[in-house]
Amino acid sequence: MATYYLNIGLTYVIIGLAIAILFYYAFRKHFLGNFWGALIVGLVGSFLGGIIDFFFGDIIHALANLNNSVNIFPPIITSFIVVWIFSKISEFRD
């Protein structure tokens, strides 16, 4: 049972990290806290997407699952949106 939750948590961490790397290095967006700020916001967004999946899982059950245990689309979408919003807020602070 512990490996099940570890698998889910690790998947969310990887998604948050990938979104932060995408925004910071590929899109060259400026963030408060530089890469670490983007990483923290990406992780929060990823886990927030997991919570959305937990509560609204029946509605989005039609989406693909990874290993039949983790629905990867809500964390990806939520993490992307949260990091994008943080990027826009960071632009105003400069």
How many domains does the structure of the chain reveal?
Answer: 1
The DSSP-derived string for 75-87 is HHHHHHHHHHHHH
Domain around 34: 2-93
Residue 31: the pLDDT is 85
pLDDT at 21: 92
Using an 8 Å Cβ cutoff, are 12 and 50 in contact? yes
- Looking at residue 13, its pLDDT comes to 93
pLDDT beneath 50, residues of the chain? none
Closest by Cα among 56, 55, 72 to 7: 72
C-alpha atoms less than 13 angstroms from C-alpha of 84 in its C-beta half-sphere = 6
